[in-house]
Amino acid sequence: MSAFSRFTPLVQSLPATIPFVGPEAIERQRGRKIAARIGANESGFGPARSVLRAIEQAAGETWKYADPENHDLKQALAAQLGTAPANIAVGEGIDSLLGQIVRLVVEPGTPVVTSLGAYPTFNYHVAGHGGRLVTTPYVEDREDLEGLLAAAKRENAPLVYFANPDNPMGSWWPADHVIDFANALPETTLLVLDEAYCETAPPEALPSIASLIDKPNVIRTRTFSKAYGLAGARVGYALTTAGTAQSFDKIRNHFGMNRIGVAAAIAALADQDYLNEVTLKIFGARERIASIARDNGIEPLASATNFVAVDCGRDAAYARAIVDRLMSDHGIFIRMPGVAPLNRCIRVSTGPDSELDLLEAALPSVLKSLAAG
């Protein structure tokens, strides 16, 4: 008997995939420590001191499971967002919620619409449940709403994924366009509106909570991993109708949330002064990354996220060479989009001045060495 015959045919057909190679793995592969960790869209500014105190206080009770109903976190989110706790589902980061959403909808062969080059972890979940990805290309470095709508209707797709603001390009659509897109989708199509970067977006990019909360075929996903500085805590949430939110209870890991992470998220919501402070730092870092790029003759794209995509003006091989040389020669970790034509760019996360200082010093020599080579 084959060692793998115990697995389903679907699982046997899939490659073992890690959508993102982590900086720790890169350190192991390269044998070099990372000096500037500005590639994973984390917040190098970290969480608020009030959150760190909450983590310390919660650590002594980490022997307990977290509340499987996530009552206190839902109450805190509802109060902050102006909605009801019943409209909220909590999960282990957006990545976990995306997997649950796909599980709710996708069967083998189900068409799922997304943008070519958009967040690869969503695609990973679709493949894992046997879905059939249908992609539409970016237009002018933005996800193409008309293309997504046309594909969803053409395929009679029960699921479509759209991120606003977008990863990996940092682009965004105004709220009225997003609402029109959601309203134009067939009622049979569930929209995943990924708003992981909502705290760093301009206000005009975000539909109000009330504008979409009554649509059972819209799920908005958000996270504490970006502006709140809690990527390692793995706390995300979904906003939707009460009926759709309750559907998560059929399949979620009811004891999946960690107690310390939940305490950290509740404390983060209570410290909006820090959120305002850190978003200003993110805005400033975006401007500095853009300035560093322009000073080196490459073009930053406008961004509504905590990173900046930079058009290197050539092809994927050149962008990859910049990414690799920054790491191998200087210990600077950045990433790049994975699909043409987006992969002509590199992507730099915002971070403290000390790390951007390293980028500013290293980038000219990397570009010079590539030009000489």
Range of the domain at 245: 49-271
Same-domain check for residues 131 and 206: yes
| pLDDT over 70 (residue 4) | no
The 10 Å Cβ neighbour count of residue 83 is 18
pTM of the model: 0.96
Same-domain check for residues 116 and 104: yes
The terminus-to-terminus CA distance of the chain in angstroms comes to 53
Same-domain check for residues 59 and 32: no
Section 194-213 average pLDDT: 98
CATH number, domain containing residue 304: 3.90.1150.10
Same-domain check for residues 199 and 345: no
Same-domain check for residues 42 and 54: no
Section 29-48 average pLDDT: 96
- The whole-angstrom separation of Cα 246 and Cα 74 is 13
Same-domain check for residues 121 and 206: yes
List the structure tokens of 50.
């009030």
CATH number, domain containing residue 261: 3.40.640.10
Domain boundary among 240, 271, 302: 271
202 inside domain: yes
Same-domain check for residues 366 and 312: yes
Same-domain check for residues 257 and 335: no
Give percent of the chain above pLDDT 90: 95
173 inside domain: yes
Section 187-197 average pLDDT: 98
Same-domain check for residues 24 and 53: no
Q: Which residues pair with 310 in a beta bridge?
A: 300, 346
pLDDT at site 364 = 98
3 inside domain: no
258 inside domain: yes
Q: How confident is the model at residue 176 (pLDDT cuts 50, 70, 90)?
A: very high
Section 101-109 average pLDDT: 97
pLDDT tens-digit map of 318-333: 999 999 999 999 999 9
| Own/partner long-range contacts of 184-188 (Cβ < 8 Å, ≥24 apart) | 184/149, 185/149, 185/152, 185/160, 185/217, 186/152, 186/153, 186/156, 187/217, 188/156, 188/158, 188/217
Domain boundary among 208, 241, 271: 271
Domain boundary among 249, 271, 293: 271
Closest CA to 115 of 154, 141, 153: 141
List the structure tokens of 348.
């730099």
2 inside domain: no
| pLDDT over 80 (residue 192) | yes
Residue 172: partners with Cβ closer than 8 Å, 6 or more residues away: 142, 164, 165, 166, 201, 202, 205, 304
pLDDT tens-digit map of 59-95: 999 999 999 999 999 999 999 999 999 999 999 999 9
Same-domain check for residues 137 and 164: yes
Same-domain check for residues 35 and 60: no
| pLDDT over 80 (residue 10) | yes
Q: How confident is the model at residue 19 (pLDDT cuts 50, 70, 90)?
A: confident
pLDDT at site 100 = 98
4 inside domain: no
From residue 235, give the alpha-carbon distance in Å to each of 64, 140, 197, 292, 357: 17, 32, 14, 33, 31
How many Å separate Cα 235 from the centre of its chain? Answer: 12
> What is the overall mean pLDDT for the chain?
96
pLDDT tens-digit map of 130-170: 999 999 999 999 999 999 999 999 999 999 999 999 999 99
235 inside domain: yes
1 inside domain: no
Coil, strand or helix at 290: helix
pLDDT at site 1 = 44
Domain count, the chain: 2
Q: How confident is the model at residue 17 (pLDDT cuts 50, 70, 90)?
A: confident
Section 333-359 average pLDDT: 98
Same-domain check for residues 255 and 286: no
pLDDT at site 308 = 98
